[in-house]
Each structure stands twice: as C-alpha cells, then as structure tokens.
Amino acid sequence: MTVRVLLADDQALLRATFRILIDSEPDLTVVAEAADGQEAVDLVLAHEPDVVLMDIRMPGTDGLAATADICARPGLSATRVLILTTFESDENVAKALRAGASGFLGKDVSPDLLLAGIRTVASGDSLLSPTATRSLIDRFLAAPDRPPLAPPERLAALTDREREVMTLAAYGKSNTEIADHLVLSPLTVRSHIQRAMSKLDVRDRAQLVVIAYQNGLVQNPRGNPGG
C-alpha cells in the first residue's frame, strides 16, 4: 500500500526537496503541498492523506494550530501528523503532542530517518527524536499538576503486560527493543500497545508516553527501566 503524504512548509525549496526524496520511494507519494497552516487543513480535508509532514513556523495559521485542527476532526482520524521543525524546544514538543501530533523530528534528521519516520507514523506508531523525548520528559516532570490525559483509575483496566509494555515505550524503546527486553515478538508488543491505546482511549503511542509520565510509571526517566 502506498503511503500518501502532504507537505506543509512555507519554504518552497524545502518542499520541493522533500517531494523529490519522498516520491523516489516506491511506497511513498506526495499528494499535495501547503505553504501555511490553513492551506494544510484545507488540503488535508480535500485529499485525506495518511501523513502530514508539518512545519511549526509558518505565516498565518502555524503548524501547531493546524495540527490541532486536523486531529480534532473525527473524519480525519486516520491522518497522522509528523512535525518537522528546527525548533525542538520543550514547549513546542509539549504543544505538538497536546495538539495530537504522532511524531516530532528536527530538520537536521537524515533522509533515511525521515523516510523511516513517515512510515513509522503511517503505521500507527509514534515517533520522537531523542531531543524531543528529553524535552517531553522535562516538560511533564516540571508540571506535575498538568491535567492527566487519562485518570489513574482507567489504568486499572490494563493487564500487567500492557502496563509493562507501555512503561518501556515511555522510556523511548521501539517495539523491537521492547520485544527483545521481554522475549516477545514485535507483533505481540504491537498488539499490547494497541490494546492499551484502546483501553485508555488515546490517539497514538505518543499520548501513551504522556500518560505513563503523568501516572508515575516511569521511575528513572533519565536512564533505563530499573537502571
């Protein structure tokens, strides 16, 4: 299946570069380009792409506002937003995740990682760069009174294994790394992640990470589980 991508960036040259890179892949294609946030929303409504590659700093409606608009529309629930920006600040990461973004990468990412990121987000997983992950940790630890995405009692619906997998995901581990750690198959790990998302009524893996921090599942955020 071909992943349909919409580009949203106010720099025409950058959009052209991304289009050449993405269209060179047999399983990816660019369906539209937007130069600002409002145009991105309009084009997403018209094309319903699988992934929106969204810049933050754009004239008029910025990328964060456009992301919030897209992710709030039930009819666009299958469209994922991957934020690509030069501004990987803790505030931007937190705002992007609250807006509903499924991924966050810096513009200094390599072409291979960008393509992998698009595929990751399109598959339903979330993606955070190491800088963004650290920023997310700092942001939520610094604001423990932030309203939780899911009340603690809802976590009681999770099985022990689902809670364990969710915690490992919050440490930034991929499905393959979690599978190796727990001696499971990556497919089984993915199933646990999806069931946890369903039980907690969240959009994607990024919000699971936020819930894990908010509910104290991560005891050593700067290290590894149990480290």
Output 132-137 pairs: Cβ under 8 A, ≥24 positions apart.
132/88, 132/93, 132/104, 132/105, 132/106, 133/172, 135/88, 135/89, 135/90, 135/92, 135/93, 135/94, 136/90, 136/93, 136/94, 136/97, 136/209, 136/210, 136/213, 137/213, 137/218, 137/221, 137/222
- Report whether pLDDT(67) > 70: yes
How confident is the model over 121-148, as pLDDT tens digits?
A: 888 776 665 555 555 555 555 555 556 6
Band of the pLDDT at 227, cuts 50, 70, 90? very low
- Report whether pLDDT(151) > 80: no
How confident is the model over 164-209, as pLDDT tens digits?
A: 999 888 877 778 888 999 999 988 998 999 899 889 987 777 778 7
Domains of the chain: 3-139 (3.40.50.2300), 147-214 (1.10.10.10)
- Report whether pLDDT(3) > 50: yes
pLDDT of residue 69: 94
Alpha-helix runs per DSSP H in 26-129 = 37-47, 63-71, 90-99, 111-122
pLDDT of residue 143: 57
How confident is the model over 12-56, as pLDDT tens digits?
A: 999 999 999 999 999 999 999 999 999 999 999 999 999 999 998
Q: Classify the C-alpha dihedral 63-6-117-81 as positive or negative.
A: positive
The Cα-based distances of 61 to 27, 54, 56, 68, 137 in angstroms read 30, 12, 9, 11, 27
Q: Which two tokens stand for residue 21?
A: 């890179």
- Considering the entire predicted model, what is its pTM? 0.68
pLDDT of residue 86: 73
pLDDT of residue 107: 80
